[in-house]
Structure 1
Amino acid sequence: MASSITSVTLQEGWRFKQGGRSSTALLLPANDVPTEIYRDLLLNGKIADPFQNMNELSVRWVADETWTYSHEFETPAAIRGENMNTMLVFEGLDTYASVYLNGELILEADNMFVAHRVDVTTLLQVDPSQKNALEIVFDSARQKGLELVKEHKEHRFIVHQTEISRGPVRKAQYHWGWDWGPLLITCGPWKPVRLETYTVRLADVTIEYELSDDLKIAKGKLHVRVEGWGSDQLLLGFTIGKTEYWDEVQDVLKDGVLTMDFELDVDLWWPRGYGSQSLYQTRVYLETTDGTPLDEKNITTGFRKVELIQEPDANGTSFYFRINNVDIFSGGSCWIPADSFLTQLTAEKYRDWMKLAAEGNQTMVRVWGGGIYEPDAFYAAADEFGVLIWQDFMFACANHPAHQSYLVSIETEARQNVRRLRDHPSVVIWAGNNEDYQIVERYGLEYRFEQDKDPQSWLKTDFPARYIYEYLLPKIVNEETKGVPYHPSSPFGNGTSTTLKVDPTVGDIHQWNVWHGTMEPYQKLPDLGGRFVSEFGMEAYPHTETLEQCITRADDRIPGSMAMDFRNKAIGHERRLVSYVAENFTLRYDLPGFAHLTQVMQADALGWAYQAWRRQWGAQGQRKCGGVLVWQLNDCWPTMSWAVVDYYLVPKPAYYVMRRAMEPVTVSVQRKFRPWTVRPADALWQRDTSHIDMRAIWKDVEFDVWVASNKREELHGEVIVKFISIRSGKELSAPLVKPVKIAPNGTSDVLQNHTFQLPHLEDDKTPFDLSKVDPFVISATLSIDGNEVASDTSWPDPIKYLTFPDRGVEVKYSDDGARAFVSARRPVKGFVFSEKQGVKLSDNGFDVLPGRMREVAVEGIEAEQLQWMYVGM
């Protein structure tokens, strides 16, 4: 059915200039809208590429200037019809924008996250020979922010990571720079601008439903809000799947809202790995009673039941998701905006990102509160691939204000975005902010959780944003969407644990005592978890090709150069990254070697965490850990950071370690970690080699083996554990063979606190001689019905105390160049193919053991063109 609405996107032919309307600066051609100022200055050769070298420093002036965008367009012929309404629609203006049409001010915008509809019916040129002049003046968000800080002296502005000007500005906070991204405060029409003409339109469509107890029937209501029509003769119809419903509206519309009931047999939408991603196309159409089409909307949605389970148990209070009555372990990652220049991103690229997450067995992605509410394409891809979305509201690391105009803007922002995203089955939680309660705790702001339950009184404290997070936003989520839980913050405990202290018994935690904080050894991560770990991470370099593209001088392509250090925005990275590498590996300081060691170190850290915390998933009623989200999945520019996939969608080895740890059925083996800085009091025989517990590494090795499964049926298998000499590649004893009954949707221990003992290597009177000991790896493989389904390897830590004589590595290739086969005569640690754009590997960043060939499928390059490296090479 055709619609009577005409919509013209004002995409081409835009121009821009420096200064406001009165500026005499030369108008320059702009990119097609959506666009932003840095891209347009680059287009015209006015600035150097901010992503290369240290050019970011040379473009910071751009953020302090006023910029004007202009466009001319013809008045659509449809406006001359009777009862026609014409709107200029701005889906997003970044950020402080004054909009003029034919010289008249029609809009003043101050929130990047808000869309605007302006009635211009009477303002357009009526003479067909005359064009309409549209001008948008963008003032500096940074300067406006500084002005607002001075204006609102009643508020204590506190921000982390950046300067204070971002605190009162409703704009993507990462534009001010972060500890992984550059300072590039953009402006411009960052979303489409269009001219829309209609008599009547479907302004809003909501599908509200409940599932039957057996989850087979969806019963609910379709709510439709109609704008622009005063007649009482309308027909409303909609189709869900193959079922069609019609209703004749006889009464004058009350507030323009129509409601229709429906009942439908449904196939459920499931997270990836738990079932199919059934999606339903819903068409809603509006006609006059004589059949004249007025408007039509199409919505894609899925039917699922979402619960956030927070119940008392032996470990405190649980925190995990239950989808369609099935407990879901939410292993995945945190998401930042995928570009500093958002208008460079396409729907295809968003789909590529979400596909990559899904192929990495990631069940959940958390949209971090310092970025943006992502475009529809992001969530559509999550729906398609079955990736659950944890959605933060856009507040991060600050004491945000709550004066009246700010609250009005926040309410509009929240309602618009909740409405836009509510039909996506992938969105399963809204969280109020990122780490703002840590600001409260660190600076001693007033927060009396139990004593003060009056929202109005919160506005009078030095933490007025509590009103936003604990009253306004949950109210909006409850009113605008049904069945999706709300969480005040990430992290957040129960009001008394909010949590800089990190309370592992309640709520979600951000675990930053590895890398930040006390800089614990990453081998301690298994003991540093909580009920849901929504942030933790470890830095690593990207593959060298990525660095070579953004650091153009060969002399700068060394670790520790000014260009390298400038690009890594993490505070203290010069000490932290080198410390973690040097603590665990024999340091190499050439770029390929150092990059490889950082990657293997990051992969090791994430392996310790994902395996151990998935083990704590336990069984129903004993869910000690409900999910793990690494900081972070992606980058916004080419750099070294905590990302497991770089800016160009090239995975680091950690991505593959996560994928293996999150396989539907997997086996894990981990040694018990004994801190190297602690000397056991009872180890009289131990030789003091600086600070290492020799017994734990070389002789009496205590370890665990377990199996994790997200299958809903019980499985039976066999685990084989081997002890292989690193020096010779030979097995040091007969393997252990253990039958295992694999519990459904849980973890099953195979060996607990098991000790493997070697003969005495020396007596207490003999000087310790490392050449006479025989360190070993522990290998565990899981087979089901005679087929190997998973394997894992545990190495003695730290790796740097090992020596690696010739490993006997051999890499062969299939005749068609589509596969590589890696084998070794002795155990190999951290075998990594160097990846690049356009290349896709089925596996990478793995260990190689004697007698176990690793097969890797290769796309985008001939397999024999791959370069590779391993520890000690």
Structure 2
Amino acid sequence: MAFFEQRLSTGWTFRDRDDESAEAWMPVAVVPSTVQQDLIANEKLEDPYVGFNELKARWVNEKTWVYRLEFQRPEVPAGSTVALVFDGLDTFASVTLNGQLILESSNMFLGHRVDVTTALQTEGPHVLEVEFDCAQLKATELRSKDPNHKWEGFNGDMSRLAVRKAQYHWGWDWGPVIMTAGIWRDVRLEVSSARVTDLWPQVHLTDDHKTASVTAVATIDGLASGAYTACFRLTLRGDEIACQDIPIENSGKTAQVTFQVDNPELWWPHGYGSQPLYELSVAITRDGKELHQISKKLGIRQADVVQQPDKHGKSFFFRINGVDIFCGGSCWIPADSLLPSITADRYRRWIELMVAGGQAMVRVWGGGIYEDAAFYEACDELGVLVWQDFMFGCGNYPVWPELLESIRQETVFNVQRLRHHPSIVIYVGNNEDYQVQEQANLTYDYSDKDPESWLKSDFPARYIYEKLLPEVVAECSPSVFYHPGSPWGDGKATSDPTVGDIHQWNVWHGTQEKYQIFDTLGGRFNSEFGMEAFPHMSTIEYFVENDADKYPQSQVLDFHNKADGHERRLATYLVENLRMATDLEKYIYLTQVVQAETMMFGYRGWRRQWGHERKCGGALLWQINDCWPTISWAIVDYFLRPKPAYYTVKRVMKPLAIGVRREHSDWSAVHAQPPKRSQYELWVASSRLEELQGTVELRWLSVVTGRDLRAPAVYENVAIAANGTTDIITDGLIDHVAQPEPHVLAARLWVDGEIAARDVDWPQPFKYLDFSDRGLEVRPQATSAAGQQILRITARKPVKCLVFEERDNVRLSDSAIDIVPGDEQVVTVTGLNEGDPPLKYNYLDQ
């Protein structure tokens, strides 16, 4: 019989386990779902994302919930089996069928398959119940059973370390405490007589890229006596590349074939080439009838992490198909606290934003989830590299035998699920657990190579990161590089900038350095760094219910900012750099200016270092997204509305970017005495793989009058190095005594007669400058039938950080831009309809 699938997505009801009354049962619209979503739908819970409703929803976290479904037995031909399949249960789940216990689960990250053929033999309705024990109370109970373990970590209750559940559900410094429960991924019945349980594409590309081998390994279950055939097929865009039929003995469990592909089309990160995806399929047939078929898409590519000794220490960067890639990008947290609400379209819109923003890599952070297939498929199709953490975050995890076995199963399940995705180029053991080890003074002797001794130490989690996980990766996905932690570097201090990756939080956290020196604080790969900013006013208005609360320091706004000490840190960076505001919209804008400038200073300098002996291999800002409407480090908010920092990163990450920067003079340290002299530098960064010729211009323009203070410097026929940095000026000098008027340095790059890049360096801090009377003009041209409008922008005096209003379904080609006299800029607006009101805008005009 051919494979048959019956989704069990509708018809469910649920209740509080402790309420046994008949009216306690409430309808469930659809699963996957969470109990919070179902309570909201039944008007038993207010939206926890609004106001203080998170607190009103805490009672849900402390309950046990039961889900129930009555269903009819599917048709089951003789010789077939019926399996009940759960792709995800959140988290402590007991499953009964017709009153009989058939499954117990304690790991949110695992899928389950239960043979229910015998249980469904009778006709008539069958009753499926899933009881979800309270994860919060269960975690506390598990912690109490291991009092000798050192329960150390950051964020949330440390009992979370005992539970294989998304750790951010316990609350984080950007997210609420929402302890979900429910059938959070698909559930279905599968009827089959023979079935492919797994298809593993193993790709090897020769160094000359002229030949690739694709080995397909199919694992098969349910074979009876008789002759079976595994029919393998490899296609590209629907065209057959190769096919082969393999006879299977009824005792066989696997079938394997290797295809040779001549002159393969290579998969590239976006900006370096296309993303062709080959499709590999296998069908199980018997007597010419197809019983089951599955397929997976794959990309042919090489991916290496290059770690070589050099004069800066030891490199850490990615090489794809022989090309060194500067991995500028972002860290990713789950896009919602209520995970089933994230649709495939929403995932794709996030990845599209990253591509439009020039971001090459996304880091799936270790306190969330192994993401939905739609996330990785979008990365494959759009060319975004994936740094995949395993789900361990900010803690010293316990290692009792049952937990280790659950972790092993989780790792095998997810690596096997993800290993065909060409976008995934690195697996990483954890997020900041080695930092916890350092700060809690837990034992870590890198020279000790005995895993059994690690288990007996007060840092037993090392066993997970340096034995269990790498063993599974080596067995299940050996072509992908494994890195024990983030940050981590050969067992050295996690803050060591000479090796591995670092999380650089001495801007915002730590020593709270000036953001203007961010690039001097970096390491070989900067996998976390950030600066907070408020989201746009439209997002604030979603969760602030009362107009009386719409001021910068209101309680509800502070409640929606979970970062420790955020009031002081925001105030520090604002008061150091800008003239303060009490009006909320102005305050929002000022926080966004600081975030945009911070990201620019970091990315601009680190990308320049890439071209200098690969000193910096990449920068992944914290963070691209939010899990609820909030105030955080995200550069795009929960509703996919970009903050200004999104655009400053986009400009710095363009294939061609120009940079100009005067040396930092710490006005705080010198008590605001103006410097007498300043050095400045001018350079071009390129990710293009061929040398180009360009023209570079540098202007000196008065902030006060807008006039050129001297003739522009023009450098013609500049040879722009391929995939590197070209220094134009390294020792420029500004004499502030002879030229006391505050002025900007405005740089432009022309290639093939077109302006390819701009950059403007400003006197610091902005609070000392007079931005009145800028003479800014924004002239819109008529909106086209395609919904595009052109904005032409000029100014009589230099303008800082012109930010346009963000509207849903409207996209801007640029924003957060600096305008200087004599250099008209053009912004394209897509998605405006004829008759729509013009976009509002703001700029620094203290």
SS in 2 for 1:182: coil
Q: Distance in 2 between matches of 1:320 and 1:60?
A: 43
The amino acid of 1:139's aligned partner reads: D
State which of 430, 435, 442 in structure 2 corresponds to 1:433.
430
Equivalent residue for 1:850? 821
Q: Distance in 1 between matches of 2:282 and 2:680?
A: 59
State which of 787, 796, 800 in structure 1 corresponds to 2:763.
796
Q: Distance in 2 between matches of 1:159 and 1:93?
A: 26
Q: Does the aligned pair in 2 maintain the 1:37–1:188 contact within 8 Å?
A: yes
Residues 531-582 of structure 1, C-alpha deviations (whole Å, 9 max, x = no match): 0000000000111011011111101111000001111111100100111011
Residues 301-356 of structure 1, C-alpha deviations (whole Å, 9 max, x = no match): 10110110011000000000011011110000000000010011100100000011
Matched, 1:821 2:786: no
Residues 824-858 of structure 1, C-alpha deviations (whole Å, 9 max, x = no match): 11000111112132221111111111122221111
Q: Does the aligned pair in 2 maintain the 1:158–1:167 contact within 8 Å?
A: no
Matched, 1:660 2:651: yes
State which of 385, 396, 401 in structure 2 corresponds to 1:399.
396
Matched, 1:718 2:711: no
Equivalent residue for 1:765? none
Matched, 1:644 2:635: yes
TM-score (norm 2): 0.97
Equivalent residue for 1:258? 255
Matched, 1:415 2:412: yes
Matched, 1:124 2:102: no
Matched, 1:509 2:495: no
Equivalent residue for 2:158? 164
SS in 2 for 1:694: coil
SS in 2 for 1:722: strand
Once the two structures are overlaid, the 10-residue window that deviates more, 153-162 or 458-467, is 153-162
Once the two structures are TM-superposed, the CA of residue 250 in structure 1 deviates from its matched residue by: 5.2
Matched, 1:780 2:779: no
Equivalent residue for 1:598? 591
Residues 79-136 of structure 1, C-alpha deviations (whole Å, 9 max, x = no match): 1x22111000000000000001010010001000000000100001522xx2110100
The amino acid of 1:438's aligned partner reads: Q
Once the two structures are TM-superposed, the CA of residue 704 in structure 1 deviates from its matched residue by: 0.9
Once the two structures are overlaid, the 10-residue window that deviates more, 599-608 or 150-159, is 150-159
Report 1:201-212 matches (<5 A).
201-212=195-206
Q: Does the aligned pair in 1 maintain the 2:248–2:255 contact within 8 Å?
A: no
Residues 463-484 of structure 1, C-alpha deviations (whole Å, 9 max, x = no match): 1111110001001011101311
Q: Distance in 2 between matches of 1:219 and 1:866?
A: 53
Q: Distance in 1 between matches of 2:207 and 2:367?
A: 39
CA RMSD of aligned residues (A): 1.4
Q: Distance in 2 between matches of 1:759 and 1:391?
A: 53
SS in 1 for 2:122: coil
Gaps of 5+ in 1: 680-690, 762-772
1:399/1:263 CA distance change after superposition, 3 Å: same
Q: Does the aligned pair in 2 maintain the 1:633–1:644 contact within 8 Å?
A: yes
Matched, 1:527 2:515: no
Gaps of 5+ in 2: none
The amino acid of 1:757's aligned partner reads: D
Q: Does the aligned pair in 2 maintain the 1:823–1:854 contact within 8 Å?
A: yes
Q: Distance in 1 between matches of 2:201 and 2:21?
A: 49
Once the two structures are TM-superposed, the CA of residue 693 in structure 1 deviates from its matched residue by: 4.0
Once the two structures are overlaid, the 10-residue window that deviates more, 782-791 or 301-310, is 782-791
Residues 416-450 of structure 1, C-alpha deviations (whole Å, 9 max, x = no match): 11011111000000000000001111111111111
SS in 2 for 1:210: strand
Report 1:219-234 matches (<5 A).
219-231=213-225, 233-234=227-228
SS in 2 for 1:178: coil
Q: Distance in 2 between matches of 1:805 and 1:141?
A: 57
Equivalent residue for 1:319? 316
Q: Does the aligned pair in 2 maintain the 1:361–1:663 contact within 8 Å?
A: yes
Once the two structures are TM-superposed, the CA of residue 664 in structure 1 deviates from its matched residue by: 0.5
Equivalent residue for 1:683? none
Residues 798-820 of structure 1, C-alpha deviations (whole Å, 9 max, x = no match): 00000122101111111227222
State which of 80, 97, 114 in structure 1 corresponds to 2:110.
114
Residues 448-504 of structure 1, C-alpha deviations (whole Å, 9 max, x = no match): 111x1011221111111111100010010111013110000000011122x1xx111
Equivalent residue for 1:624? 615
The amino acid of 1:754's aligned partner reads: G
The amino acid of 1:853's aligned partner reads: E
Equivalent residue for 1:94? 90
SS in 1 for 2:596: helix
State which of 696, 712, 732 in structure 2 corresponds to 1:735.
712
Q: Distance in 1 between matches of 2:379 and 2:200?
A: 20
Equivalent residue for 2:444? 447
1:408/1:250 CA distance change after superposition, 3 Å: closer
Report 1:68-467 matches (<5 A).
68-77=66-75, 79=76, 81-127=77-123, 130-231=124-225, 233-241=227-235, 242-249=240-247, 251-254=249-252, 256-265=253-262, 266-288=264-286, 290-450=287-447, 452-467=448-463
Q: Does the aligned pair in 2 maintain the 1:53–1:550 contact within 8 Å?
A: yes
Q: Distance in 1 between matches of 2:383 and 2:816?
A: 26
SS in 2 for 1:382: helix
Equivalent residue for 2:32? 34
Q: Distance in 2 between matches of 1:331 and 1:790?
A: 17
Runs of 4+ that moved beyond 6 A: none
Equivalent residue for 1:488? 484
Equivalent residue for 1:701? 678
Q: Distance in 2 between matches of 1:195 and 1:548?
A: 44
Residues 184-211 of structure 1, C-alpha deviations (whole Å, 9 max, x = no match): 0110000011000100000011111211
Once the two structures are TM-superposed, the CA of residue 757 in structure 1 deviates from its matched residue by: 2.5
1:209/1:262 CA distance change after superposition, 3 Å: same
Equivalent residue for 1:48? 46
State which of 720, 723, 727 in structure 2 corresponds to 1:749.
727
Q: Does the aligned pair in 1 maintain the 2:232–2:245 contact within 8 Å?
A: no
Once the two structures are overlaid, the 10-residue window that deviates more, 186-195 or 863-872, is 863-872
Equivalent residue for 2:548? 555
Once the two structures are TM-superposed, the CA of residue 165 in structure 1 deviates from its matched residue by: 2.1
Once the two structures are TM-superposed, the CA of residue 587 in structure 1 deviates from its matched residue by: 0.7
How many residue pairs end up in the alignment?
Answer: 834
Q: Distance in 2 between matches of 1:753 and 1:465?
A: 49
Once the two structures are TM-superposed, the CA of residue 385 in structure 1 deviates from its matched residue by: 0.8
1:597/1:21 CA distance change after superposition, 3 Å: closer
Equivalent residue for 2:511? 518
